[in-house]
Structure 1
Amino acid sequence: MHFRRLLPVTTLAASLLLSHIAYSQQFKDGKLWLNEDGSNYFKVTLTGQFWLRNTDLNPGSTVNGFAKRNVTDIGIRRARMQAYGQIADRVFLYTQIGMNNFNYLSDRKAGFFIHDINGDYEVVRKKFFLGGGLTAWNGLSRYSSPSVGSILGLDAPLFEQNTNDVTDQFLRKLSIYAKGKLGKLDYRVTVASPMSITKSAGYVPAIGANSTFSPKPAQLQLNGYFQWQFLDRESNVTGYNTGTYLGSKRVFNIGAGFQYQDNAQWHTSASGDTVETSMRNFAVDVFYDAPVNKSKGTAISIYAAYLNTYYGPGYIRNQAVMNPADGRSTQASLVNGGGNGYPSFGTGNLLYAQAGYKFRDNLVGKTTLMPYASLQYAKYDRLNDAMLFWDAGINWLLRGHTSKLTLAYQNRPLFETRGQQADLTGHRGAFILQYQVFLN
């Protein structure tokens, strides 16, 4: 009897509580408000990038053991879900799950994995935040942590994520970070614990004359990036930097960064001794993204970077995005490997530039176009010739970054080993059509 009398009272109390929660937790501006003024909130975003591609493969490439010179394939370049928010005063939580590079050669039912999970506390209002976790608060340069949903062209300059999936998880590092704004200075500094190189894809334990990452227990890695924001201030709520604002902001930044890890690499000397070297990377960059004519909606986006990278003598690493081949039968001297690989990372000096121009609003019905081009030029000490990779295309902005179709052509160099050095021997290309959907 006592329980029966208590039940209506409990039900009424629960109803009142749920009504209060429903009132206080409004959904507004894409956010779930956790308090009346929305200063505490939670937000979810979704991103999908889908590719149709035709690739001229590197010489000797194979698919399932069969020789192939050209492949047309369909793939999912990225699928992401972000969930984050200012869940309490001074307390921020961020997480992201997703998958990358899913094509016809991928393991089936691989599933989503955790990209990020981190939190930070606002120690001094806007000036100093302290946080940690599996995080993209990286140093070195602007696109060491790119916002993939707002990329100017087909892809981010991945070589700025210089340990991508080697000693980190697709650029995310297990780290403690400090970030904030001091006037026009935006800064981030991190101390990261590098992941074991032995768990990376394609790890080879052999040591040779050319430097590779050492399998010895890793030292802590230091990263930093500092940018002076001359015009509009950019958000530093998450660790990701916007590719282009499509004319919605006036941004002009100059940045500089570094990355250092003691005894990160090893190689053998001429006498056969093991030599350990430190990874020392430095970068400076400039970013300008602004409207040209606000009333018409025209805009320009320009980014340029210089990187000085040192991974030890002779270090080279290929980049092969969503590789459409899984082996090679010949051309063992080819530095590039099979498929669409090319030597994107190395010890030496690198210049990168990209530029895009957004035409007026309503150029094609209610849509518009934004052509772009990018160029990666590097002089790596193991290559006798300059490494030149270029990419050019056009974005059809069906609804800004929310719905975007991009058609691009990429051209990559081929290098073959001649003793300890390598020479440029040709080029290969790929046509790529990407459709992006971005719920932000």
Structure 2
Amino acid sequence: MNTSMKPVWVSALLLSSQLAFAQQPTTLPADTTKKPATSIIVSERVNQAPAQKSAAEKNELKYNLNESGSHFFKATFLNQTWLQFNQSNPGSTVVGVPKDNTLSIGLRRTRMQLFGQISDHVFLYIQFGMNNFNYLNGGFNQTGSSNRKIQAFFHDAVSEYIVWKNKDYLKIGGGLTIVNGLSRFSSPSVSSIMSMDVPVFAQATVDQTDEFSRKLSLYARGQVGHLDYRVVMSDPFPIQTNGAALPTYGPNSIFALKGHNKQFQGLFMWQFFDKETNQVPGYITGTYLGARRIVNLEAGFITQKNAMVHLAAPGDTVYQNMNLWSVASYVDMPLNKAKGTAINAYLGYFHTDYGNNYLRFNGALNPASDIAAAQRPGGLGNTQGNTFPMFGTGSVVYGQFGYLMKRNLFGPGNGTLMPYVQAQVANYQRVTNTLGVYNVGLNYLIKGHNGKFTLDYQNRPYYEPSPSTSPLSAGGRRGQLTLQYQVFI
């Protein structure tokens, strides 16, 4: 070994030996304990009786910066692997070949986080990773090709100042962040979601004028009594930078190709019982698996001046504001603490005004690459595979319910089950009838959210071919069965 490298290796070994694994709730974000890090000692004694008490199993990678553990730095890793069988929308093709259905393997999310309380007033958060990585690598671009080696990117890079020491009253931060308004599902903690996937429509501008729901923002957030709040000013990206072919002007609204205005957001939650985690900027826990008694009412909004544009008549360009708001209730609480049973429930109403007749199809980890031109509903592209009208001007009602079965259902250390149902029901200007997307699923929680399998069946509508000036009519329904394996530490 080059002698000049020895100090580097020695330093790395010393640092890694001090990483502690303190017990934590298995949610993202998680509260940080105040206990000092515990060293792990490996015994090399031979032919001796084992110790009377083994060391407790640990759940996190954490390095304490002070003796009390109030200053720390932490790493987490997440991987969600999907095995997907999908009945494709009519006319779907896979790399130029028509396919009625597909069986595919992909990575829904692969993430790593580095974050910590650097001092009493300073918090740093970094996240790096990739999403929707399958054999199409997120889909062919406008040149008909893709690059499987450039998927990973920085999701978050946030610096936060805590105004009052050891108090959550006011935190001021800035950077690339998912601190969003509108709803709790606009800033979801993806490692702790109750169902297999989040309702992506609540991430209202995802990959249009943001970076996978992250924006360059300045925000203030905190908790005062029962109120949890966040207010945000964002600097949205021009749609020209999203890597897709640019939309064209027409009678239906699109994101504006000219001009640039700031976006303003807010989310306010009234917490009747326990407070939710508030440490990591932005992320809101999906389910606490009965560890907390949460009953919340929430209201949120997103607004941006002249964000949308359409042609009222040839040569008559009309700019419109984007105005989105929602109200919702959320419950996550134990039923029987002795048995470990719990429920998770959410019901929300979303008013989504993207301008005149705006509509966008989307599908998670889409396994199809294109759709025959003759089969395009409303003349829209990207309607192949497992997509449906996820975003549109109109209104959406979203609900979910899950039941956590008793602890150690299959015996000590063998985990338990959590079945769930989801429903997304929308009325959009450009769709003739009510749109309903329904999911039913089952979580096998091997070790809480740290290791779990989820089997999910989704039933969605597909739409008839039509010109761009006509409203869309449902032609029938298709299904998708997905098995997810999540590992998180």
Deviation of 1:367 after TM superposition, in Å, equals 1.4
Report the AA paired with residue 110 of structure 1: I
Structure 1 residue 333 corresponds to structure 2 residue 333: no
Aligned partner of 2:263 in structure 1 is: 221
Report the AA paired with residue 325 of structure 1: A
Counterparts of residues 93-112 of structure 1 (less than 5 Å): 93-106=124-137, 107-112=147-152
What is the DSSP-based 3-state SS (H/G/I as helix, E as strand, rest coil) of the residue aligned with 1:421?
Answer: coil
Structure 1 residue 268 corresponds to structure 2 residue 278: no
Structure 1 residue 120 corresponds to structure 2 residue 125: no
Structure 1 residue 367 corresponds to structure 2 residue 415: yes
Contact 1:181–1:187, Cα closer than 8 Å, also in 2 = yes
C-alpha separation between the residues in 1 aligned to 2:102 and 2:358?
A: 29
Aligned partner of 2:391 in structure 1 is: 345
What is the DSSP-based 3-state SS (H/G/I as helix, E as strand, rest coil) of the residue aligned with 2:261?
Answer: coil
**Deviations 1:332-363, CA, capped at 9 Å, x for gaps:** 33657111111011000110000000110111
TM-score scaled by length of structure 1: 0.92
C-alpha separation between the residues in 2 aligned to 1:349 and 1:115?
A: 29
Aligned partner of 1:3 in structure 2 is: none
Deviation of 1:34 after TM superposition, in Å, equals 0.4
Calculate percent identity across the aligned residue pairs. 47
What is the DSSP-based 3-state SS (H/G/I as helix, E as strand, rest coil) of the residue aligned with 1:428?
Answer: strand
Report the AA paired with residue 372 of structure 1: Y
Report the AA paired with residue 458 of structure 2: Q
Aligned partner of 1:158 in structure 2 is: 200
Q: Give the one of 79, 88, 93 matched to 1:62.
A: 93
C-alpha separation between the residues in 2 aligned to 1:62 and 1:318?
A: 16
Structure 1 residue 191 corresponds to structure 2 residue 233: yes
Task: Count residues in correspondence.
Answer: 424
Aligned partner of 2:448 in structure 1 is: 400
C-alpha separation between the residues in 2 aligned to 1:227 and 1:201?
A: 35
Q: Give the one of 59, 84, 87 matched to 1:53.
A: 84
| Unmatched 5+ stretches in structure 1 | 1-10
Counterparts of residues 33-432 of structure 1 (less than 5 Å): 33-106=64-137, 107-124=147-164, 125-238=167-280, 239-270=282-313, 272-329=315-372, 330-333=374-377, 337-365=383-411, 366-416=414-464, 417=466, 419-432=469-482
Q: Go from structure 1 to structure 2 and tell me whether the alpha carbon gap of 1:205 and 1:432 turns closer, same or farther (over 3 Å shift).
A: closer
C-alpha separation between the residues in 2 aligned to 1:170 and 1:187?
A: 22
Contact 1:49–1:78, Cα closer than 8 Å, also in 2 = yes
Deviation of 1:112 after TM superposition, in Å, equals 2.3
Aligned partner of 1:27 in structure 2 is: 37
C-alpha separation between the residues in 2 aligned to 1:73 and 1:205?
A: 29
Higher strand residue share: 1
Report the AA paired with residue 474 of structure 2: L
Contact 2:234–2:263, Cα closer than 8 Å, also in 1 = yes
Deviation of 1:271 after TM superposition, in Å, equals 5.2
Q: Go from structure 1 to structure 2 and tell me whether the alpha carbon gap of 1:93 and 1:425 turns closer, same or farther (over 3 Å shift).
A: same
Deviates more, 1:390-399 or 1:411-420: 411-420
Report the AA paired with residue 120 of structure 2: D
Deviation of 1:126 after TM superposition, in Å, equals 1.7
Q: Go from structure 1 to structure 2 and tell me whether the alpha carbon gap of 1:73 and 1:22 turns closer, same or farther (over 3 Å shift).
A: closer
Contact 1:350–1:377, Cα closer than 8 Å, also in 2 = yes
**Deviations 1:192-229, CA, capped at 9 Å, x for gaps:** 00001012243324100000000113200000000001
| Unmatched 5+ stretches in structure 2 | 1-6, 21-34, 39-57, 138-146
Deviation of 1:111 after TM superposition, in Å, equals 4.8
Contact 2:88–2:386, Cα closer than 8 Å, also in 1 = yes
What is the DSSP-based 3-state SS (H/G/I as helix, E as strand, rest coil) of the residue aligned with 2:229?
Answer: strand
Contact 1:142–1:285, Cα closer than 8 Å, also in 2 = no
**Deviations 1:249-297, CA, capped at 9 Å, x for gaps:** 1001100011000000000003540000000001111110001100001
What stretches of structure 1 move > 6 A for 4+ residues in a row? Answer: 21-25
RMSD of aligned alpha carbons = 2.1
Contact 1:197–1:203, Cα closer than 8 Å, also in 2 = no
C-alpha separation between the residues in 1 aligned to 2:364 and 2:394?
A: 22
C-alpha separation between the residues in 1 aligned to 2:194 and 2:430?
A: 31
